[in-house]
């Protein structure tokens, strides 16, 4: 049982009776329009209610009565099952404050019944420490994934920029090297010529001298 509901002819007088009998206390209430207020109650000192009472509508055939609400997983499909089993649904499925659902009906034997399902519980929020731990783990995993890429990447070689002065110096050095090479080649040619001339002179000296032709006497 998840809820206890009393339909009475005098709400103001009915609650003090049960307060004295069971020690119940008022919790909260809501406006029902022409029928007045729906007063909720609970165990002594409790803030959450477990039942309510109200003034039944004028002209209602039934007298004052208690209606227990049987707790089910979901009142909406349970209502359809009750219909299929021959129950007469008087009210519902209807959503009530707090997100729950209710239905009221009469079973095949004429007894009044009601069903109730609570709103689904909201997912619990993770503690801040758990969120920080999850964030740290995610950051560590991302770092591990990116680390091999960073290590495998080869550093780019950057060529030093040459200034105008550096270029001029390099050009002058090349020109000087060419001039020096040309001088060396010229000296080698001159030396070869001198060597060839000296050898030719030696050969001429080594040859026997020819006798001068004699002149005929007249």
- pTM of the predicted model as reported, rounded to 2 decimal places: 0.51
d(CA 171, CA 185): 21
| Residue 212 scores a pLDDT above 80 | no
Q: Phi and psi of 178, rounded to 5°?
A: -65, -45
Give domain limits for the chain.
1-65, 72-120, 169-204
Top-confidence residue, 148 or 100: 100
Average pLDDT for 165-192: 73
User: Model confidence over 41-85: pLDDT tens digits?
Assistant: 999 888 889 999 999 888 877 789 999 999 999 999 999 999 999
Provide the CATH topology of domain 1-65: 2,3-Dihydroxybiphenyl 1,2-Dioxygenase; domain 1 (3.10.180)
Same fold, 1-65 and 72-120: yes
Cα angle: 161, vertex 163, 165; to 5 degrees = 150
State the architecture of 72-120 in CATH terms.
Roll (3.10)
């Amino acid at each position: 049982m998840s809820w206890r509901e009393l339909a009475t002819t005098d709400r103001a007088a009915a609650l003090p009776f049960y307060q004295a009998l069971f020690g119940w206390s008022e919790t909260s209430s809501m406006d029902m329009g022409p029928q007045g207020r729906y007063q909720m109650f609970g165990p002594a000192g409790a803030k959450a209610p477990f039942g309510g009472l109200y003034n039944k509508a004028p002209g209602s055939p039934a007298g004052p009565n208690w209606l227990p609400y049987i707790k089910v997983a979901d009142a909406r499909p349970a209502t359809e099952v009750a219909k299929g089993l021959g129950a007469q649904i008087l009210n519902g499925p209807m959503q009530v404050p707090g997100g729950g659902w209710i239905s009221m009906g009469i079973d095949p034997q004429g007894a009044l019944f009601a069903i109730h399902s609570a709103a689904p519980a909201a997912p619990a929020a993770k503690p801040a420490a758990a969120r920080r731990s999850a964030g740290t783990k995610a950051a560590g995993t991302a770092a591990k994934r990116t680390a091999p890429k960073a290590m495998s990447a080869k550093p780019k070689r950057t060529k030093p920029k040459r200034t105008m002065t550096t270029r001029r110096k390099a050009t002058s050095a090349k020109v000087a090297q060419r001039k020096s090479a040309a001088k060396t080649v010229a000296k080698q040619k001159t030396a070869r010529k001198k060597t060839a001339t000296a050898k030719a002179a030696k050969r001429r000296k080594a040859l026997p001298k020819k006798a001068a032709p004699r002149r005929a006497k007249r």
